């Protein structure tokens, strides 16, 4: 994929608040194309597996309970410089620090309920995409 794909999840709070449409609109307007997409619901064990890198953090329990609390939208997105450009589009983890116009600034409720996930590296984009999609869906 070499830099042109990233992975995202629209988190349960944003799905519940009916923000799937507005968020996808911003993603498209920013030049990303949807390569694969799935409306699904993680169970607690799957959420723990997805966020295993944070297993030792104080917020792991709350994060994984929240992420398994309702349906999400998972997607693989394509664009040049996808990972970095998407992190810029979603904004800082803490929505109070997110820039104006970013998805988290617009749609997050709090640090834990921050509306959307974005991969932090090309390597993790592949790992995270493979968590939800078959490799043929990525190509």
The two tokens of residue 13 are: 């709070």
x-or-dash pattern for Mg ion, window 94-123, by CB under 5 A? --------------------------x---
Q: Are 5 and 76 in contact (CB under 8 A)?
A: yes
**Chain residues 32-71 in contact with ligand CDP, contact rule CB under 6 A:** 54, 59, 63
Side by side, the strands of the sheet bearing 72-78 are: 33-40, 72-78, 5-10, 116-118
Q: Per the structure block, which two tokens stand in for 75? A: 């997607």
41 is catalytic: no
Closest approach of Cβ 102 to ligand CDP, in Å?
11
The residues annotated with a catalytic role in the active site are 117
Interacting residue ranges for ligand CDP, rule: CB under 6 A: 54, 59, 63, 93, 111-112, 114, 117, 120
């Amino acid at each position: 994929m070499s830099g042109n794909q990233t992975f995202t999840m629209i988190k349960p709070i944003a799905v519940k608040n009916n923000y799937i449409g507005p968020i996808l609109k911003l993603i498209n307007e920013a030049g990303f194309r949807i390569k694969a997409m799935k409306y699904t619901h993680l169970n607690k064990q799957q959420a723990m597996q997805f966020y295993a890198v944070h297993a030792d953090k104080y917020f792991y329990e709350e994060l994984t309970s929240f992420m398994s609390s309702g349906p999400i939208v998972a997607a693989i997105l394509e664009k040049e410089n996808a990972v970095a450009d998407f992190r810029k589009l979603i904004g800082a983890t803490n929505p109070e620090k997110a820039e104006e116009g970013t998805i988290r600034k617009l749609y997050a409720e709090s640090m834990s309920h921050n509306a959307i996930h974005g991969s932090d590296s090309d390597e993790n984009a592949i790992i995270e995409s493979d968590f939800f999609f078959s490799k043929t869906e990525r190509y």
